[in-house]
Structure 1
Amino acid sequence: MLKVCNLSKSYKGSLALNNINLTIKKGMFGLLGPNGAGKSSLMRSIATLQSADSGYIEYDGICVSAHAHEVRRRLGYLPQDFGVYPNISAIRLLDHLAALKGFANKSQRKEAVSSLLIKTNLYEQRKRAVSTFSGGMKQRFGIAQALLGDPDLIIVDEPTAGLDPQERNRFYNLLCELSEDKVVVLSTHIVEDVSELCTECAIMNRGEIVLQGSPANLISSLSGQVWRGVVAKETLSQVEQSYNVISKKRFAGEIIASVVQDEQPEGFLPATVDLEDVYFATLAQAKIQ
């Protein structure tokens, strides 16, 4: 179990994390939020890459800041911007990283490296220099290094950037398999991914946790309060002044507006609520406050 207790962090006087409290059990946990919400800062804190100003983090009863080395041995981390070494083949680089991770036995290291290259669909490209990889291939290599050592705490920050739909599905299938007996924290702005994959989630905004729960319960809490309708461009401003419009999308050249309120607005129809509605409604409420 991963526990984040009263965690706060500032950068040059700007508050990045404000009294964060989370309890994350085995399984996949989704962390949603817009850019600048503090997701990456929280991920770096959990991954022992920075210390907090106040509060603490525990993993399996171990204080992360006091026993960072022990936590790192059990941790797999894929940051949002994963750097790579140029002019080194994928298999050599992953072998080197495996050695740093503690794989002293050469045959075991070779087996682990080959297995991860196969899982991430890079085995056929294993002799190519990582510097020549496409963006998606570099991201898959980052995923492979995060899984070295069979970690039981896995943190992935915007992991599918640069992946095509097929690669994205393959990666998430792998994460789902791993999360059966591990703690997997998925930080993303893609609401659909969290809705489909995570048993628990939280929404961050301006350095705070503004909502937390299972996707199903969060969706249920908004049931019967979301309405959608086609809105003409010239009347959109008036609709936004009259109703709590949480999102606007263009579909087949028309503007589809989503509204949250108890009573049905004129010209709108009941909507099937999804986690994206919860996300937009939560951010809209936070903006009002």
Structure 2
Amino acid sequence: MVSPTVPEDNPEVPATRGRVTLVGGGPGAWDLITVRGMHALQDADVILTDHLGPTAELDRLCDTAGKEIVDVAKLPYSRKVAQETTNRLMVEHARAGRNVVRLKGGDPFVFGRGSEEVRACARAGVACTVVPGVTSAVAVPAAVGVPVTERGVVHSFTVVSGHLAPGDARSLVDWHALAAAGGTVCVIMGVRHAAEIAAALAEGGMAAGTPACVIQEGTTARERVFYCTLGTLGETMERERVASPAVYVIGEVAARR
């Protein structure tokens, strides 16, 4: 649990009665949120929601009557609420004495900008607590029977954001190094660039026949699962019209379901 605050004796920081709780909503299904996360929702005055996690089923986790629900989603390649706006809303509501829950999909610190939001609260002198969540990168494959590690098969896995294509100047991922590492590769936010990612891994030496598994909207009633290989990954996703949110796993474990 992280509770960064600014000391009360700092004259530049206004007193506040409210607080912010960053809650990881889990991989999709409403009942895969943690008990602590559910309790935070029940205690909230304001809930700032994403498009992932249990946002559509909040009424199954808490009594939403009297709570202010604010959509601050960042939709892939579509409408986005600026991070600065989300930070401002958290701080303003907390300074007004409200208990704020920032509900995020998966885990707040796994490609969820949670650390940015914690720092925004700390700078504003707002008490902030983090409630970890179940990340889709591991939970979604597990839910369909695909382990990311297995004794005697693989002893490592890497979770990678695929929102930038290999070769993009902004990318911080060394795809060739991942191909040579010999571990499982779990890609989230990588639907649009799946073919390019597969090609980069192949260029790095990963065999085209390496098993792969694609899971769209895992753990929900809309779940779709496809098994293929590294060499057919892009083709499979295009043919099946796989859309976000989706996780794909590349490695020998994908054949051991």
| Structure-2-length-normalised TM-score | 0.29
Of Structure 1 and Structure 2, the greater strand share is in: 1
Give the TM-score of the pair, scaled to structure 1.
0.27
Larger radius of gyration: 1
